[in-house]
Amino acid sequence: MTSGHHGIEVISRGVCIVDGHLLLCHGRGHTNTYLPGGHIEKGESAMTALEREIREELGVEAHAGRFLGVVENQFEQKRRQIDEINLLFELEIPGLQPGAEVPVAEDWLDFRWERLESLDAANMEPKVTHNLLASLADSAHSTVGWASNYDR
Q: Which fold has domain 9-148?
A: Nucleoside Triphosphate Pyrophosphohydrolase (3.90.79)
CA distance 124 to 122: 5
How is the chain split into domains, by residue range?
Answer: 9-148
CA distance 5 to 131: 28
pLDDT the model gives residue 130:
81
SS3 57: helix
Contact 50, 91 (CB under 8 A): yes
Mean pLDDT by 10 residues, the chain (152 residues): 65 95 93 94 95 95 93 88 93 94 91 89 86 70 63 60
First to last CA, the chain: 22
In this prediction the pTM is 0.86
pLDDT the model gives residue 90:
94
Half-sphere exposure of 152 (CA within 13 A, CB side): 0
